[in-house]
Structure 1
Amino acid sequence: MFKLILLSLTLITTSISQAAVWEDTNSWSMEWEAKYQEWIKSDAVHKNLFISPESKYHGMLPDCADAAYAIRAIFSLENKLPFKVINPSGSRNGIYRHLDNRSNKFDSAGSTPEARLVAMINYLGDSVGTEHLAHYDTYPVKIESVDSGTLFLYKYKKWYHKNAIRHTYNIKDVTKYGDYDVIYSTQAIVKDKLPMIRRMNHNFSNLPHGAWGYKRFIWPEFDGRSNDELPRELEYSEEQFKMADKLGERFFRFVKNQLKEEDENPQQLLYRKLQDLCQEAMDRIEYVNQGWNHHLRTGGKCMDYEDYDAYSTPSRDRALENSFKRLEADFDEVVSRGLDTLVKKRLIEVLRAIFKGDNDGPYVSEDLANTCTLKYREGASMNLATLWERLEKGRLSSHPNDSLEHRWGEKKFGRTNCKKWY
């Protein structure tokens, strides 16, 4: 009897130790892609997906690129679909070239597929980033096909800096006006174990180029094929790169026109964009405070590349500046077309105060305060007109070792001497 029990335990242990992350019994198809799009739109993909104790995927620590892999992998697991990525630590050929759902590398993580997936994503997080996602596991798509489940990946580098900024956005939905509902993670979020960021009515500002832009995951069965060999229904296309080269800064307005289902009336457009701009500025308070708190925790020590990459805000500050510019362009277009008569007078006065420095209206100061007051540090606040003035003059600092006064352009001189990594 003892030998029989021992044999049974051995068989069970062997079975567990050779478990796949999960078994796939379905294959990717356009029908499954459509279901993936609907799932991305749904409340199943939410900000607390990786940190809620109630989540089956609690314990995942994905930054921007890892969050994209994780979201795709979770849907694959829950629907018994294959998941495969190029293994960054494997050989270029042979059995270690890929990391997939059939791997038994994560047996020790637990007896459930969800526990093993958490371990696999965290392993990926230590090995891959947006660069890997852009070059190996995704392909560019037609502009008109951009929708839920599409990724937007960007890489931005100033010519005089050695290091580049990279980021991945997951598009949850495209609005009827051609804007984006996005969800994403960052390195700072991972370090501080915070929820992902979800932003409604988002717009992109870094032009597609090379391997960067609007992309989708390659189906596992097509791994190793050139993009030209992909089936037509996957809608592979290089047009976004050609149009970005041709149109420059006008590219994203072109994309918006391709994706929108209807136009907004001028009042709704300007009011919504003003509210979105306020939210983006409010979000910066949180980002800056994350860096400042880390600065305090480390006794003001100069941040190394990893911490600087997590807590600096050059990309976000550039995006905020571009959001101001887009609102100004929309406002100027409304005025030039004589449509300002369709916009409430006090909204027009607020926008003139922000972009033209015109503060003559009797309610301008009050309306600016009511529209958006940014309490960016203890005892200090400003409105959007002041923020735009400081931002336009280059007074905001993106360096996480700078004081809050310097981060928000309150002080011009005496910034940190710590290294600026990019």
Structure 2
Amino acid sequence: MQRLILLLVVLVSCSFAHAAVWTEVNSWSPAWEDRFSEWVENNWQIDFFARKKLPNGQSNPYYGLRTDCADTVYSMRLIFAYENKLPFVIQDPTAYGRTISNQMKRFDKQREEQRVKSFLLYIYDMVSTKSVANDTYPVAISRNTVRAGSLILTTAVNHHSWTIKEMLPIGVPHLVYNSTVGRTSGSTLQERQSWPNPEWVFEGDQTPAGGAGFRYWRPVEYLNQPVWKVPGYSEEQYKVPLKRWVKYAQGRLQLRRETDEQMMARLMKVTCQGLVGRVSAVNDGLNALRSTRGCMSYEDYDTYSTPSRDQRVFDDYVTLRKVYRELVLANNASDLSLDMRVRLNKIYPFIEESMLSETRKMAPVGVDGISVCTTEYSSGQYIDLAEFKRRLFAGLISNNPMDEAQYRWGQLRGPSQRARSCKSWDVWVPNLKQD
């Protein structure tokens, strides 16, 4: 009996020795890419890492993972590959010409489910938005190439990325993504149904070398190869002027047009999501500030500052204003419901004037019956889209994590004394000269 037990122990030990993270039994093909796209559209939810239980009642093996924007992109591809026993291979960001794959033996003493989770954490430590460009390639703007499972990447200036959960029939992407992870960040992802500002996406380099725009996953055999060699490589999106980029892309991707009312409601919802999402991001920074003696290091400052987030919210306000202003100037605002116009006029009280003029004239407003997106931003303190817009456009909102709450939310104009005494990086200010 003792020999039998010993033999079983040896067999079990050998089964883990030199084990890959998982063994693939399938190979990527157009059919598998279609299944990947379908899986993303149906399963890639903002609670993917936050829910304890799966819809079938089983425990979520990925529960509790916290991802930044690049981690989110790679997780989408890696998890589908694992669950369908497909290869997952990326360029090694630390060594040109080498790759990292599910054949890695680093975790061979762990059971498979734990190996996969350890592999995910290892990948998170290795990748960044810089590596995303090396593992993907730019595609043409069509519904065959820009679909669920694709992604959008910015240039290195803004180092951000979004996964495309779905291309809506109106030609607008449903994006699932995340931002920088702080010590107290949760596992819930973020989403939006709107275009990122192309001038922010392509900032500094609207060429293939910048790596920005619509992208898809490179086949394994084209890793560590010149990107232009990848089948399906396209430079279409780099030839469209940025002022026309959204209209061009949406026109190429839409199956039907949305009404003006639907468009305004969607854009207000996106702007609201930016405001609501900022609450937890600022709270992360305030919690870190309370435990910081002296000044923050560059690493902590970079984690808890919000210049990119504030820029994106500002861009959403600008887009909403631009679309509404075009309707007003074309005498088409009457196509909107009265309720919609009343709410929009509270946010943009001088819509026919420039942004700069409106910002100078706009007085503080409180929460009332026509408020959009009433949000508790601090204990017992509420703000709506109109008042947050006023503070944001007036340059009152601080992205500096060395500022206290009243400065972060524009109740006082910063910088605070503490922020003035510490080094700051990448301080954001609104650009009101875009009319």
- TM bucket (normalised to shorter chain) is 0.7 to 0.9
Q: Match for 2:337 among 344, 349, 354?
A: 344
How far is 1:325 from its partner?
A: 0.8
Task: For 1:180, give the aligned amino acid.
Answer: P
List per-residue Cα deviations over 1:305-335 (Å, max 9, x = no partner): 2222222111111111111111111112222
- In 2: Cα distance, 1:177 partner to 1:300 partner: 50
Query: What residue number does 2:423 align with?
Result: 419
| Matching residue of 1:129 | 128
Is 1:154–2:154 an aligned residue pair? Answer: yes
**Deviation of 1:83 (Å):** 0.7
Q: CA RMSD in A?
A: 2.5
Q: Residues 60 and 341 (structure 1 numbering): CA distance in 2 closer, same or farther, change over 3 Å?
A: closer
1:350, distance to aligned residue in structure 2 (A): 2.8
> 1:259 maps to which residue?
253
- Structure 1 residue 195, shift from structure 2 partner: 2.2
Residue in structure 1 matched with residue 430 of structure 2 by the alignment: none
**Structure 2 CA distance for partners of 1:288 and 1:193, relative to 1, 3 Å:** closer
- Secondary structure at the counterpart of residue 46 of structure 2: coil
Question: Are the aligned partners of 1:176 and 1:260 in contact in 2 as well (CA < 8 Å)?
Answer: yes
- Say if 1:186 and 1:310, in contact at 8 Å, map to a contact too: no
Q: 1:162 is matched with which residue?
A: none
Q: Is the 8 A contact 1:153 1:168 kept in 2?
A: yes
TM-score (normalised: structure 1):
0.86
**Residue 197 of structure 1: aligned partner:** 189
Aligned residue type for 1:237 = S
1:107 Cα deviation from its structure 2 partner: 1.1
Alignment of 1:291-310 (within 5 A): 291-296=285-290, 298-299=291-292, 301-310=294-303
Alpha carbons of structure 1 residues 291 and 202: separation in structure 2 relative to 1, 3 Å: farther
Residue 260 of structure 1 aligns with an amino acid whose one-letter code is Q
Q: Which runs of 5+ in 2 are unaligned?
A: 53-58, 352-357, 359-364, 427-435
The match for 1:240 is 237
Q: In 2, are the aligned partners of 1:207 and 1:248 still within 8 Å (CA)?
A: no
1:280 to 268, 274, 284: 274
In 2, distance between residues paired with 1:411 and 1:38? 48
Query: How many angstroms apart in 2 are the aligned matches of 1:31 and 1:12?
Result: 36
Q: Deviations over 1:209-250 (max 9, x none)?
A: 31122111112233233333323xxx321221222xxx2233
1:325 aligned onto 2:318: yes
Moved more, 342-351 or 366-375: 366-375
Aligned residue number for residue 411 of structure 2:
410
Q: For 1:12-411, what aligned pairs fall within 5 Å after superposition?
A: 12-42=12-42, 44-53=43-52, 54-58=59-63, 60-89=65-94, 91-93=95-97, 97-108=98-109, 110-112=110-112, 114-134=113-133, 136-144=134-142, 145-155=145-155, 157=157, 165-188=158-181, 191-192=183-184, 194-205=186-197, 206-208=200-202, 209=206, 210-231=210-231, 235-243=232-240, 247-296=241-290, 298-299=291-292, 301-357=294-350, 369-411=370-412
**Counterparts of 1:409 and 1:193 in 2: how far apart (Å)?**
23
CA contact (8 A) 1:59 1:118 kept: no
Task: State the alpha-carbon separation in 2 of the partners of residues 414 and 64 from structure 1.
Answer: 28
Equivalent residues of 1:21, 1:101 under 8 A apart:
yes
- Could you say what secondary structure the match of 2:190 adopts? strand
Deviation at 1:41, TM superposition (A): 0.8
| CA distance in 2 between partners of 1:391 and 1:181 (Å) | 26
Counterpart-to-counterpart distance in 2, 1:369 and 1:177: 28
Scaled by the length of structure 2, the TM-score of the pair is 0.83
CA contact (8 A) 1:300 1:401 kept: no
1:358-390 superposed Cα distances (whole Å, 9 cap, x missing partner):
89xxxx977664323233223433332222222
CA contact 2:285–2:401 (8 Å) conserved in 1: yes
Q: Once the two structures are superposed, what CA deviation does each residue of 1:6-25 show, in whole Å capped at 9, x if it has no partner?
A: 45533431331111111112
Residue of structure 1 equivalent to 2:433: none
Q: Which runs of 5+ in 1 are unaligned?
A: 158-164
Instruction: Tell me how far 1:192 sits from its aligned partner.
Output: 2.5
- The offset of 1:61, in angstroms, is 4.0
- Is this contact kept in 1: 2:70–2:129, CA < 8 A? yes
Alignment CA distance shift 1:13-1:242 (3 Å):
same
Q: Partner amino acid for 1:343?
A: L
Shift in alpha-carbon separation, 1:4–1:348, aligned structure 2, 3 A? closer
1:187 positional shift: 3.0
Shift of 1:276: 2.7
* Contact 1:340–1:348, Cα closer than 8 Å, also in 2: yes
Percent sequence identity over aligned pairs: 31
